């Protein structure tokens, strides 16, 4: 099976011919923008959670898992490979977030 690893530049290049190409931007840009808004919203106050890393992962992982499964037509083995996880780890995360598969 071929490697499914791609960087943000690969994704941007792959989308360059699509009608939505202008809206495409690297994921890191979207995350940085969201984090900037989050910290601006705090307006100097302490966040409610002191474990920001886990909070971000809890917000990012479920849609990542759902989108990857959708992209792979529900094939967990293919989704696990695309995510760089073994299948058992993917299944554990699906259970953790209550995500059902087709």
Using one digit for the tens of pLDDT, what is the confidence trace for 53-99? 999 999 999 999 999 999 999 999 999 999 999 999 999 999 999 99
Do 30 and 62 belong together in one domain?
A: no
- What is this structure's pTM? 0.72
User: Domain limits at 86?
Assistant: 49-102
Do 31 and 77 belong together in one domain?
A: no
Half-sphere exposure of 18 (CA within 13 A, CB side): 11
Using one digit for the tens of pLDDT, what is the confidence trace for 6-65? 454 455 445 555 555 557 889 899 999 999 999 999 999 988 888 999 999 999 999 999
Give the CATH number, domain containing residue 59: 1.10.10.60
Tally the domains of the chain: 2
């Amino acid at each position: 099976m071929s490697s499914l690893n791609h960087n943000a530049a690969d994704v941007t290049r792959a989308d360059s011919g699509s009608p939505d190409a202008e809206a495409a931007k690297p994921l890191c840009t979207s995350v940085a923008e969201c984090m900037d808004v989050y910290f601006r919203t705090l307006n100097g106050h302490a966040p409610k959670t002191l474990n920001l890393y886990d909070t971000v992962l809890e917000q990012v992982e479920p849609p990542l898992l759902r989108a990857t499964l959708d992209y792979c037509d529900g094939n967990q083995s293919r989704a696990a490979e695309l995510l760089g996880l073994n299948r058992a780890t993917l299944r554990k995360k699906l259970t953790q977030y209550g995500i059902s598969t087709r």
